[in-house]
Amino acid sequence: MSGFLLRWLGAFALLALTFNPTQWNYTHWLMTAWADQTPLIVLCGLVLLTVYVIYLRATLRSIGTFGMLLVTALVAALLWVLMDYRILRLDDPGLNTWIGLFALSLVLGTGLSWSRVRRRLTGQTDVDDVDE
């Protein structure tokens, strides 16, 4: 379980570093400091883009588009239940952003962890195609 937790936290950190409802994120920094720190902003943006490509590629190879949609649907259903039982209210835009980050990070974290989960459930390992 700690492996999934670390992968999920990595995905959450990536998404929250890119955008969140506070001023402490890449998007806010880009909009406020572009004129003064352009080279550093471009470098950090390319680092973020590289990590996104790695995460998304691994997730797509692991669970595919259908799996991503299925995990998203499960999270949406969970949110619906929490709202229906009045445990969660969606009238705060900041909270909604954090919930969206949480949901997207669950999709990425599941995609990054799926090969390990599948191996434990079935005993089969996934092997990437190598064209060498």
- Judge whether residue 127 has pLDDT over 80: no
pTM summary value: 0.85
Better pLDDT: 32 or 121: 32
Closest by alpha carbon to 14, among 65, 48, 38?
Answer: 48
Helix residue ranges, H only, 19-87: 26-84
pLDDT at residue 115, as a whole number: 76
> Which of the four pLDDT bands, split at 50, 70 and 90, describes residue 75?
very high
CA–CA separation, 123 and 20 (whole Å): 39
Looking only at Cα atoms, what is the longest distance across the chain?
55
- 10 Å Cβ neighbour count for 11? 25
The pLDDT assigned to 117 comes to 76
